[in-house]
Amino acid sequence: MAINIWKYSSPQTFYPLAGKLAPWFLGLAGVLALVGLYIGLLLAPSDFQQGNAYRIIFIHVPAAWMSMFVYLVMAFWCAVGFAMNTRVSFMMALALAPTGALFTFIALWTGSLWGKPTWGTWWVWDARLTSELILLFLYIGFMALHAAIEDVRRADRGAALLALVGAINVPIIYFSVQWWNTLHQGASVSMTRSASMASIMLIGMLVMSLSAWMYAIGASLLRVRILIAEREQAPDGLAAGAPS
């Protein structure tokens, strides 16, 4: 049975779908967060080098991953919006931005709180940290630009262009630890510690990441619903099949 994906590219059909899916994703995020916190805070042993300071990893790494991933998804929807001229795509991008900015802020904040006990400094202007800070400014710039342009369609396109150009920053963040000398450690997933310890820590981190993933999907679906309703002013216009 073929599913007509184009059906969901119009606000009228996407609106009820987003409403149905969002609570499931948010609920799943909550359950996964509880499991992840149980593993990360209670089951996982303390690190032989960092003691218990390493437990910040269960917030920091999922938030940092999501900060980059949400941006890529946002840029993807902007590209789709340009190519297909679908309004929901631009709304999806706009719906993702605050959640992405939130994860970026959490990654920066927890990184700072982790840096102080391990590196001895709250902040350092090195490649990883600076490019992540630029990511936060890109999110804020995207939202501010969209809010500054009065005509919604022009705002969609202007902000989308900024998001697409800014996407170059994401690989820079990701590979910054390889390309430049930085205080920041390399990729976390390939960490080589004594097997039994690493696995429970890794499982905790992955469960927390999955939770962050579900949260980002749920929150942005809820927000895209709000955006659709706000834009169409009277949502019964949506049900009646307003031109898209």
Binding segment for another protein (CB under 8 A), chosen from 73-81, 144-152, 158-166, 222-230, is 222-230
Residue 91 DSSP SS3 = helix
Contact 200, 44 (CB under 8 A): yes
Our CA angle for 178, 182, 186, nearest 5°, is 50
Q: Is 186 in the site for another protein (CB under 8 A)?
A: no
Token couple for 101: 């900015």
CB of 239 to another protein, least distance (A): 5
What per-residue string of b and e applies to 62-88 under the rule 16 or more CB within 10 Å gives b? bbbbbbbbbbebbbbbbbbbbeeebbb
Binding segment for another protein (CB under 8 A), chosen from 53-61, 70-78, 143-151, 174-182, is 53-61
User: For another protein, how many residues bind (rule: CB under 8 A)?
Assistant: 42
Residues 85-124 that bind another protein (CB under 8 A): 98-99, 102, 105-106, 109-110, 113-114, 116-117
Q: Is 45 in the site for another protein (CB under 8 A)?
A: yes
Contact 129, 122 (CB under 8 A): no
Residues that bind another protein (CB under 8 A): 16, 26, 41-46, 51-53, 55-56, 59-60, 63, 98-99, 102, 105-106, 109-110, 113-114, 116-117, 215, 219, 222-223, 225-226, 229-230, 233-239
